[in-house]
Amino acid sequence: MTPIIMLDRLVEHLQAITENFEMQSNVTGITKAPQVIAGYLPEKKPVQKQDVPDFPYVIVRYLQEEDDNDGATASVKIIVGTYSQDAQDGWRDPLNILTRIKQDLLARPVFGESFRVEKPIKTELPEEQPFPEWWGAITLQVIMPQMEEEGGFL
C-alpha cells in the first residue's frame, strides 16, 4: 500500500464523518458540508468566481513517512478551515470539526481496511487567526502495511 492510497482512503473516511455538517461558507447565504480533499486547495479565486465556495474545507496532507523493522508509519496533517464573521465565537467551528474527527478516529482507528491511526494525536488551534477565516489542525500517525523482503540473504 502506498501513501497516496492511504490519503485517498482517509479522505473517504473523513467525507463520511463530515457529510452532514452544515457550515457557513465564504459566499453569502450558502451553507454546505466541508469539502474534503487530499493535498492542497485549488487556486484561490475571488468569491464571485468560486464555483464551489472555498470554505469550509478539510485538507488531508501527507507530511512524512518512516520505515523501520517494526513497520511503516506516516505522519498526516488534517487541516480544517471555516468561515465566520463572528469575531467572538468563530474559532468554535474548526475546533468542533477537529474534535468530531478526532473522536471518530479514536473510536474507529482502522480505516480503508489496511490503515490504523495511532496515538498520540495532536490538535492545534493557532492563537493568530486570519479573521473571518478560522483554522486548526490535527497531526496524527498512521500505521501502513509494509513491504516484506523478498528472497533470501546470501
For residue 24, what pLDDT is reported?
A: 87
Torsion of CA 89, 33, 36, 127, to 10 degrees: 0
Q: What Rg do the C-alpha atoms of the chain give, in angstroms?
A: 17
Average pLDDT of the chain, as a whole number: 90
Owner of C-alpha cell 492545534: 124
CB 109 within 8 A of CB 25: no
For residue 1, what pLDDT is reported?
A: 65
The pLDDT confidence band at residue 47, using thresholds 50, 70 and 90, is low
Per-range mean pLDDT, top range of 38-47, 66-75, 126-135: 126-135
The pLDDT confidence band at residue 68, using thresholds 50, 70 and 90, is confident
Does pLDDT of 42 surpass 90?
Answer: no
Taking the whole predicted model, whether its pTM rises above 0.75 is answered as yes
The pLDDT confidence band at residue 154, using thresholds 50, 70 and 90, is low
Question: If you average pLDDT over residues 97-119, what whole number do you get?
Answer: 95
